[in-house]
Amino acid sequence: MSNFYLAQRLRRLRSSSAMRSLFQETSVGLNDLVLPIFVEEGVDDYKVIKAMPGVMRIPEKRLAYEIERIAKAGIRSVITFGISHHADATGSDTWNEEGLVARMLRICKNTVPEIIVMSDTCFCEYTSHGHCGVLCDHVVDNDATLINLCKQAVVAAAAGADFIAPSAAMDGQVVMIRKALDAAGFIQTSIMSYSTKFASSFYGPFREATGTSLKGDRKTYQINPMNRREAIRESLIDATEGADALMVKPAGPYLDVLREIRDNTKLPLAAYQVSGEYAMIKFAAQAGIIDELNVVLESLGSIKRAGADLIFSYFALNLAEQKVF
C-alpha cells in the first residue's frame, strides 16, 4: 500500500459490484426497446433469414400467436414490416383496407390491445422495383410519393396503428401525413418519424429479410453518411412539421448525430439498431470472438447513453425471454 495523497481516486466508486451498480449512470430495460417483426402473407411456414441468425419471417397465419408470445415475454412495442406477394409499381396494396399492412395491424391490436404497434410507412417491400416511392423516369417522385404515403397512413391508423412511422425519406412526409391523419379524424395517432435516415451499407441483411428487389440505391433521398449537419437539420425539420418522436437510423455508427439531436430537441428520440449491426454481433459471437450478451448490452447501453429514449432492436425478444432485465 502506497501512502500517496491522491484527492481524486475514481476507483473508489468502482470497488465492488454493488458500488458500480449504485453509481451507474445509464441503464437499459424492456421499456426502452421496440421489436421489429417481419410478416409474410400467403405462406404456411416460418422462413429463416440466413443473414440475421435467430430472426425469422412470421407467416401471417401465425402472427396472433407470435404477438401473444412477444407480449408475454414483456415486450411492449413492435414495429411491423410486411413481405407482400402483391407488389406493383406504386405499392398500392399498402392503402388497401384489406391489404397486408392493414391486416397485420388488426391482428396485432385485436390479439393484444395494449401492445403499442408502429406501422412502418414506406413502399420498398410493396413495390416491384424496390424503391420507397413512385418512380418517374427512374427517379423517385417526391410529391407523388407523398400522396401515397398519406393514403397508407390513414389506412394504417384505421386498422389500429398507434404510431405511423414514415421511413420513405421524402421531403415533407411528416407534415403531409399529419394533415391527412387529422383530416381523417385520427388526431390521436402519433408519428414516429425516421427523421434522420442515412443511405447506409448497414441495411444489407434487411433486404434478405424483406425480399426487397431494389436495383440501384436510395442515395437521392436518404442522407449521405458523411453529412452531420444535414442529418441534424433533417430531424429538426421533422420536429417543426409535427413529428411526435424522432429517430436516427442506423444507431451505432451515428452516436455523434444522435447526441447532437438530443441536445437540440425535447422530443422523444429513438435509434434503430439495424440489421447489419445485429448481424455483425451475431456472426462474431458464432465465431467465438465475442461474448454475445455482454456486447449486446454494451451496444444498447451506448445508444441509450448517447441520448436515445427508445431503441429499435432485433435483440429485444431474446433479451426479454432470457429475463436479462
Q: Which residues are catalytic?
A: 197, 249
User: What amino acid is encoded at 231 in this protein?
Assistant: A
Contact (Cβ atoms closer than 8 angstroms) between residue 85 and residue 129: no
| Cβ contact 182:237 at 8 Å | no
In this structure, what DSSP letter does residue 241 have? T
Is the Cα dihedral 322, 315, 152, 47 positive or negative? negative
Say which residues have a Cβ less than 8 Å from residue 212's Cβ, sequence separation at least 6: 124, 125, 130, 206
The three cell numbers of residue 105 are 395491424
Burial pattern 118-145, b for ≥16 Cβ within 10 A else e, equals bbbbbbbbbbebbbbbbbeeeebebeeb
The letter for the amino acid at 268 is P
- The greatest distance separating any two alpha carbons of the chain, rounded to the nearest whole angstrom, comes to 77
Note the helical H segments in 125-197. 142-159, 173-183
